[in-house]
């Protein structure tokens, strides 16, 4: 990679050892364990194990609960991604207009990133709590029988709101950076060519923003798949009746209850494959992104 360097024999190995060691012990070993276990079945007492190729995976695909979790995760990611990207883009476009106070707006909009997902969940839970939540009261005043503890759709809405709320600031920051990297002269050229603000946005700004948008889409989906565990656990615990049980949550639950080690491992492996696919897509697309 570099043309100049040092010629020490053992120093580089020493330097790289800590990270390699930790990576092997806490990453590759567990990951390969998961893959290995996904091909095994243990009997009820955990005394014998049997190598069964893809039986565990087949079992998953026949499992209604698994498909439920898959569906929940897809709905969840689509909703959160669409909402948080849309709102963030709107806010970023306004902040980019170079109005007075753009700096303070930016500060005020960026700090939710620092709030832990679990805490975000708790905050929104508190406001939408069926009995004493202030927003729940408003809803009831409007005639809605709001109860996320019993109504699966309500629970999903609550969780979507909490997850979206947290993601807005992250997306906002990246959209703003993307907008500010578009050369001002392009906008001016479009204005001279006769384009008004809306047309400029859709024909010039948005196409140039699409790499950022795509990148954020992938990041948001990964976020929803994994980082939202805290929100789900804090707010709905996967319920009611699995209405908010995402794939990650299911892995956690199944593992806790013990028993189906192989199935739980298979779920983990499937998740790994999904993430790798998403990351690969992201890397490949980013390569093609630079326009000028």
Query: Is residue 202 within the footprint of other proteins (CB under 8 A)?
Result: no
* Single residue of 20, 65, 144, 281 touching other proteins by CB under 8 A: 20
DSSP secondary structure of 75-140: HHHHHHHHHHHHHHHHHHHHHHT--TTHHHHHHHHHGGGGS-HHHHHHHHHHHH-TTT-HHHHHHH
**Taking the complex as a whole, how short is the minimal distance between the CB of residue 200 and other proteins, in angstroms?**
10
Q: Which is nearer to other proteins, 65 or 108 (CB)?
A: 108
- Does 224 participate in binding other proteins (rule CB under 8 A)? no
> Judged by CB under 8 A, which of 203, 241, 259, 281 binds other proteins?
203
Q: Which of residues 36-95 bind other proteins (CB under 8 A)?
A: 37, 87, 90-91, 94-95
Q: Contacts with other proteins in 147-176 (CB under 8 A)? A: 149, 165, 168-170, 173-174
The piece of 39-47, 51-59, 73-81, 181-189 that touches other proteins (CB under 8 A) is 181-189
Residue 41, CA distances (Å) to 82, 115, 266 in order: 40, 40, 11
**Site for other proteins contains 190 (CB under 8 A):** yes
Q: Which two tokens stand for residue 56?
A: 């565990």
Q: Binding of other proteins at residue 13 (CB under 8 A)?
A: yes
Q: What is the phi/psi pair of residue 218, to 5°?
A: -65, -45
Judged by CB under 8 A, the residue of 97, 141, 142, 284 near other proteins is 97
Helix, strand, or coil (residue 258): coil
**Closer by beta carbon to other proteins, 52 or else 187:** 187
- What is the DSSP track for 198-219? HHHIIIIIHHHHHHHHHHHHHH
**Closest separation in Å from C-beta 110 to other proteins:** 7
Total number of residues binding other proteins (CB under 8 A)? 115
CB of 93 to other proteins, least distance (A): 8
Which of these, 116, 92, 86, lies nearest to 105 by C-alpha position? 92
21 to 40, contacts with other proteins by CB under 8 A? Answer: 22-31, 33-34, 37
CA 42 to CA 51: how far, in whole Å? Answer: 9
Q: Least distance to other proteins from the beta carbon of 232, Å?
A: 10
Q: Indicate the length of the chain as a whole number.
A: 292
- Angle between helical axes of 247-257 and 64-96 (0-180°, round to 10): 140
Report if residue 253 touches other proteins, rule: CB under 8 A.
Answer: no
Instruction: Pick one of 41, 74, 119, 157: the residue that binds other proteins (CB under 8 A).
Output: 119
126 lies in the site for other proteins, by CB under 8 A: yes
How many Cβ atoms sit within 10 Å of the Cβ of residue 215?
Answer: 16
- 146 φ/ψ sector (left φ>0, alpha ψ -120 to 50, else beta): beta
Q: What is the number of other CB atoms lying within 10 angstroms of the CB of residue 288?
A: 8
Backbone angles phi, psi at 51, to 5 degrees: -80, 120
The residue (of 23 and 58) whose beta carbon lies closer to other proteins is: 23
230: Cβ–Cβ under 8 A, 6 or more apart, which residues? 116, 117, 118, 119, 120, 121
Nearest to other proteins of 229, 285 (CB atom): 229
Kindly state whether residue 118 participates in binding other proteins, applying the rule CB under 8 A.
yes
Quote the least distance from Cβ 63 to other proteins, whole Å. Answer: 18
């Amino acid at each position: 990679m570099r043309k100049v360097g040092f010629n020490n024999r053992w120093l580089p190995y020493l330097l790289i050892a800590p990270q390699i060691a930790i990576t092997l012990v806490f990453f590759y070993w567990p990951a390969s364990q998961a893959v290995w276990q996904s091909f095994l079945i243990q009997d009820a007492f955990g005394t014998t194990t049997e190598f069964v190729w893809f039986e565990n995976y087949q079992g998953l695909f026949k499992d209604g609960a698994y498909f439920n979790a898959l569906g929940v995760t897809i709905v969840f990611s689509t909703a959160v991604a669409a909402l948080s990207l849309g709102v963030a883009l709107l806010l970023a476009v306004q902040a980019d207009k170079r109005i007075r106070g753009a700096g303070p707006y930016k500060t005020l909009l960026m700090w939710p990133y620092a709030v832990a997902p679990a805490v975000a969940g708790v905050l929104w839970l508190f406001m939408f709590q069926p009995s004493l939540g202030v927003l729940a009261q408003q809803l009831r005043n409007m005639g809605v029988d709001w109860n996320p503890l019993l109504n699966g759709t309500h629970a999903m809405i609550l969780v979507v709101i909490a997850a979206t709320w947290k993601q807005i600031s992250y997306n906002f920051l990246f959209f703003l950076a993307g907008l500010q990297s578009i050369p001002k002269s392009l906008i001016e050229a479009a204005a001279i060519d006769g384009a008004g603000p809306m047309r400029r946005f859709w024909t010039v700004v948005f196409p140039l923003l699409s790499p950022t948008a795509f990148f954020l889409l992938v990041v948001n989906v990964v976020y929803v798949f994994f980082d939202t565990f805290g929100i789900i656990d804090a707010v709905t615990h996967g319920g009611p009746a699995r209405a908010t049980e995402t794939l990650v949550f299911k892995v956690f639950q199944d593992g806790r209850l013990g028993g189906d080690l192989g199935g739980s491992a298979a779920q983990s492996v499937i998740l790994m494959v999904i993430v790798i696919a998403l990351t690969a897509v992201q890397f490949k697309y980013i390569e093609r992104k630079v326009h000028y």
